[in-house]
Amino acid sequence: MAIVVEPKLISGNANKPLAAAIARRMSLYRGMSVGLVDARIERFNDQEIFVEVYENVRGEDMFIIQSTSNPANDNLMELLIMADALRRSSASRITAVIPYFGYARQDRRTKARTPITAKLVANMIAEAGIERVLTLDLHAAQIQGFFDIPVDNLYASPIFALDILRQFKGNMEDIMVISPDVGGVARARELAKRINAPLAIVDKRREKPGEVAEMTVIGDVTGKKCFIVDDMCDTAGTLCKAAEVLMEHGATEVHAYISHGVMSGPAVERVTNSVMKSLVLTDSIQPTEAVASAPNIRILPTAPMFAQSILNIWNGTSVSSLFETDTLGPIYEGIL
């Protein structure tokens, strides 16, 4: 009689609340308790990372839940060392669940003598013994090609669409989806198609990283409720500036839906004082206390989608089916 191997979860320190939420949702879906594998992840006095797994994982299908968010280097090393510990403990398969994939912005050489760090990190992940990656909204979809192992890239736009349709039910007229740059048009178009809304672009020109010299609105936003959609919000300077430009061009209100709330430096203060009515983030990066308490910031849960994705990977069924509203809608019933 064949032994059915259950999926097992282990979490680093990057986003423990999300890992616990994924375990709870998997318990709900499976009808049996799914917990996090007991392990300790410590630091020696010189901040060297040490991992010890307390449970037997021989022959198990392991899923490491770990975003490589701030502090990016520490969280990345935790992921690699956990993978090595599991590989040397004879786990049958190791999947890295990386809700936020750090270093993704360095996906090409923008100037002479610069690295392509996203490729370097991909090599390190594969070398550590990880056999599959599950992530959310990569900064650029082609980063999947940096890996020589399977990569499942989930999208936040189906969750955003569900939230918009619920929040603005009966008030969907005059809605317009905005891409904050030309490179994000595909992401914005995907959301626009889901909520049956037109699309406009805020074209920005940078003099240097983090500073925007000029913004131009491509499309007529007069009298529109504008929804800016992007994969990442770091210091929120560009986002708040784009919101101002849209209001100056006649928008009635501006909301933003962002996959990854990096929210570093003055980001929360900028958003709080901005013209935006709301900023909606996922919990792919653990929200700081300032983010959680900001009056115009909301957090959408990703645990239901990640839990179902893990189960689909485990039992060999389609992950891309979760991109469909008919599949994802029931999973988020009563949550959004």
Kindly tell me the sign of the dihedral angle through the C-alpha atoms of 295, 66, 75, 133.
Answer: negative
Of 16, 204, 241, 277, the active-site residue reads 204
Q: Shortest CA distance to 76 belongs to which of 85, 67, 65, 84? A: 67
Is 119 one of the catalytic residues? no
Q: Please, which residues have CB within 8 angstroms of residue 80's CB and are 6 or more apart in sequence?
A: 124, 125, 128
* Active site amino acids: 204
